[in-house]
Amino acid sequence: MIVEDVPPDSVDRSGLPVLEVDELTVTFRRRGEQPTRAVDGVSFAVAPGETVGLVGESGCGKSVTSLAVMGLLARRGVEVGGSVRLDGRELVGAPDRTLRELRGADMAMVFQDPLSSLNPTVPIGTQVTEVLLEHRDLSRKEATAQATDLLDRVGIPDPARRLKEYPHQLSGGMRQRALIAMALACRPRLLIADEPTTALDVTIQAQILELLRELVVDSGTALVMITHDLGVVAGLCDRVHVMYSGRIIESADRHELFARPRQPYTGGLLASVPRLDGARGAPLHPIRGSARDVIPWAEGCAFAPRCDHAQDDCLTEVAGSTVPLEYDGPGRELRCRHPIEYPRSPSGATAAGAAR
């Protein structure tokens, strides 16, 4: 196969996925404890310029999935199975050196809490330039110039001064912008954002999301957005995978998912979002209970104990009778025996069509 030299500035329009995750499993093994499977057979792909959302509540395995993709999980006590391919290159089982060469250069990550994710004793400038100096053949001076440029691009005013400052001297929004600048420094092909707005004010949240969208559209970067916030999904994602207890339970395009959620869990997530246009004092609709630590997929459906649609066949005594993830119309997949049904309109136009 002939690999053509692609200039870094050109936007990839080939449509081949940047990231392919196939049957990814992550198992934590601690001495004297039962092994815990945090991620169990997760598969998805992200194309250049595409934004894919991984959605679910705390502990559903979405962050572990992202760390596994980046190869950032501890080597000891963690078993990663399945396959993760970045531009066709297998990452699971790749040596540490290879991963370090790819991280920061071809794939990058923005983390949840910008204050704790920045080193408090190192100036912002050094934390930006160190990525450039590691992966690019630059002099210190050139790296500083590029870092100034980067901070300017992510919307930090007076970047030359900010480079000399320490993380605690920046506001929360600025810190997250700085982290994004670090992640984008080497123009990665893949960017993973793990709840990048959770620790920020609502007004800042919108700015950061807007910034991410601009950057992704401009550069053709593939973006994986990890979130529990459906507002973020609605504003940013092309395709959404809903996760529950370490597995994907529903996949659909954004509009489809919001218009016609099929998994009762997805329906519950959508219904539990407080609405501004609802009547005052209208009751909220939380999902009952909370996810369990052990992943109970072996006996049918893990969500069944909390599900309003659950029927007798959702839970069985037979081990290994997991509800499978199946084709559910074009571009959709679903893991459910009793999904939410919608009346078919005679013209064939779906509710989703109306929502567009």
Partner 1 sequence: MLRFVVRRLLQLIPILLGLSVLLFAWLRALPGGPAQAALGERATPEAIARYNELFGLDQPLYVQYLRFLGRAVQLDFGNSARTGRPVTQEFLERMPGTIELTLFAMVFAIGVGIPLGYLAARRHGSWLDSASVIGSLLGVAIPVFFLAYLLRLLFAVELGWLPGSGRQEVRIDATRITNFYVLDGLLTREWDAAWDAFTHLVLPGIALGTIPLAIIVRITRASVLDVVNEDYVRTANAKGLSTSTVRRRHVIRNALLPVATTIGLQTGLLLSGAVLTESVFAFGGVGSAIFDAIFARDFAVLQGFILILAVVYVLVNLLVDISYGLLDPRVRVR
Give me the least distance between CB of 67 and partner 1, in Å please.
Answer: 8
Give me the least distance between CB of 228 and partner 1, in Å please.
Answer: 18
Give me the least distance between CB of 195 and partner 1, in Å please.
Answer: 12
Q: What is the dihedral of CA 129, 135, 140, 146, to 10 degrees?
A: -60
Closer CB to partner 1, 96 or 341, in the complex: 96
**x-or-dash pattern for partner 1, window 55-74, by CB under 8 A?**
---------------x-x--
> Could you say which of 182, 211, 212, 243 contacts partner 1 (CB under 8 A)?
182
> Could you say which of 19, 21, 179, 222 contacts partner 1 (CB under 8 A)?
179
Q: What is the dihedral of CA 34, 75, 240, 23, to 10 degrees?
A: -70
**x-or-dash pattern for partner 1, window 79-98, by CB under 8 A?**
-----------------x--
Which residues, including other chains, have CB under 8 Å from residue 322's CB and lie 6 or more apart? 297, 298, 300, 301
Q: Which residue has the tokens 């920045």?
A: 118
d(CA 306, CA 296): 12
Closer CB to partner 1, 74 or 276, in the complex: 74
- Using the contact rule CB under 8 A, the part of the chain among 10-18, 177-185, 269-277, 333-341 near partner 1 is 177-185
Token reading at 27: 């198992």
Give me the least distance between CB of 355 and partner 1, in Å please.
Answer: 37
Token reading at 140: 């210190």
Residues in a beta bridge with 54: 226, 241
Closer CB to partner 1, 105 or 314, in the complex: 105
Give me the least distance between CB of 168 and partner 1, in Å please.
Answer: 5
Closer CB to partner 1, 39 or 190, in the complex: 190
Count CB neighbours of 14 within 10 A. 10
**x-or-dash pattern for partner 1, window 21-50, by CB under 8 A?**
------------------------------
> Could you say which of 168, 280, 288, 356 contacts partner 1 (CB under 8 A)?
168
Residues in a beta bridge with 315: 300
> Could you say which of 45, 78, 94, 99 contacts partner 1 (CB under 8 A)?
99
C-alpha distances in Å from residue 240, one per residue of 25, 65, 101, 134, 200: 19, 15, 29, 34, 23
Give me the least distance between CB of 121 and partner 1, in Å please.
Answer: 6
Give me the least distance between CB of 2 and partner 1, in Å please.
Answer: 27
- Based on the shown chain and the rule CB under 8 A, indicate whether residue 138 belongs to the binding site for partner 1: no
* C-beta of residue 19 within 8 angstroms of C-beta of residue 69: yes
Closer CB to partner 1, 44 or 111, in the complex: 111
Edge-to-edge strand list for the sheet holding 333-334: 107-110, 190-194, 222-227, 51-55, 239-244, 247-253, 333-334, 326-327
- Based on the shown chain and the rule CB under 8 A, indicate whether residue 244 belongs to the binding site for partner 1: no
> What residues numbered 101-130 form the site for partner 1, per CB under 8 A?
101-105, 108-109, 111, 113, 116-122, 126, 130
* C-beta of residue 163 within 8 angstroms of C-beta of residue 147: yes
Q: Is 128 helix (H, G, I), strand (E, B) or coil?
A: helix
Closest CA to 296 of 284, 314, 283, 282: 314
Strands 239-244 and 51-55, by their bridges, are parallel
Q: Is 73 helix (H, G, I), strand (E, B) or coil?
A: coil
For partner 1, the binding residues (CB under 8 A) are: 70, 72, 96, 99-105, 108-109, 111, 113, 116-122, 126, 130-131, 134-135, 166, 168, 179, 182-183
